[in-house]
Amino acid sequence: MVTSIDIKKVSSRGKVVVDLDVWMNDPDDHNFSPRATLSGNSLEMRDESDAEILATIDLDDETLQMAERDRVVEARIKFSVHGMHGTLKDKTPNPRSGPKAKKLAEPRWKVMLPLQ
Whether 51 maps to a domain, the answer reads yes
- Rounded to whole angstroms, how far apart are CA atoms 52 and 46? 6
* Residue 10 pLDDT > 80: yes
- Within a domain: residue 96? no
Indicate whether 94 belongs to any domain: no
Is there a domain that residue 14 lies in? yes
Residue 109 reports pLDDT greater than 80: yes
Residue 76's domain comprises 2-85+105-114
> Would the pTM of this model clear 0.85, i.e. be above it?
no
Question: Which among 51, 50, 108, 105 is positioned nearest to 75, based on CA atoms?
Answer: 108
Is residue 90 situated within a structural domain?
no
Give the model confidence (pLDDT) of 47-85 as tens digits: 988 889 999 999 999 999 999 999 999 999 998 887 665
User: Tens of pLDDT along 18-56?
Assistant: 999 998 888 777 788 999 999 999 999 999 888 899 999
Residue 8 lies in a domain: yes
Domains held by the chain: number: 1
Residue 30 has a pLDDT of: 77
DSSP string, 21-50: EEEES-TT-----EEEEEETTEEEEEETT-
Residue 109 pairs in a beta bridge with 77
Report if residue 29 sits inside a domain: yes
In a domain? residue 15? yes
